Amino acid sequence: MRTARGWELGAALALFLSTFVNKVDRKGRVSVPATFRASLTGQAFNGIVAYRSFKLPSIEAGGIDRMEEMSARIDTLDEFSEDRDSLSSIFAEAQQLAFDGEGRVVLPEALCQHAGITESAAFVGQGRTFQIWEPQRFDRHQQELRERARRQGTTLPARRPERPAPERGTP
């Protein structure tokens, strides 16, 4: 079911769309796009949760609800497995960045260094999460992704038909 905040899968989740480039001030503060902040309204933490991307020179970010969902999924892995250890490292690096009165967050220096962010930051919607990039790096990355998708003929997987609910009294 579609809600104002995103798709409902047992609970409403934020949905982040579009790309916005905002200036980073001398103190490392940057305004989180208003539509992103609106998607996070009503969560237990008034801000974003951010961590270094495992694969890209960017910052992964989202709401606390997404982190809770990730934690629940990681909890399904064997307690002492290597996969669980590797994925749990996200939580050690994740930082809660609270909104100030103007909707800004302070980007920690370590995250900025990882992403190469200095003067401006691109907030890139990824659906249920978003990324924060140095804008020129993101432009190059986006061009590479589009070219790869074109070369490979990448398309969305077909939507699975919904299974009708069984009739009452039917096993």
DSSP class of 27: T
What is the pLDDT confidence band of residue 155, given thresholds at 50, 70 and 90? confident
The domain locations on the chain are 14-150
CATH of domain 14-150: 3.40.1550.20
Query: What is the 3 state secondary structure string of 55-84?
Result: CCCCEEEECHHHHHHHHHHHCCCCCCCHHH
pLDDT of residue 166: 63
pLDDT tens for each residue of 86-140:
898 899 999 999 999 999 999 999 999 999 999 999 999 999 999 999 999 999 9
pLDDT of residue 3: 38
pLDDT tens for each residue of 2-19:
334 443 444 556 689 999
| Pair 128, 14: CB distance under 8 Å | yes
Task: Tell me how far apart the alpha carbons of residues 76 and 33 are, in angstroms, rounded to a whole number.
Answer: 34
pLDDT tens for each residue of 145-154:
999 989 998 8
Which residues are registered as beta bridge partners of 62?
Answer: 49
pLDDT of residue 165: 63
pLDDT of residue 157: 84
pLDDT tens for each residue of 15-71:
899 999 999 999 999 999 999 999 999 999 999 999 999 999 999 999 999 999 999
pLDDT of residue 167: 65
Task: Tell me how far apart the alpha carbons of residues 121 and 162 are, in angstroms, rounded to a whole number.
Answer: 40
- 3-state DSSP call for residue 162? coil
pLDDT of residue 169: 60
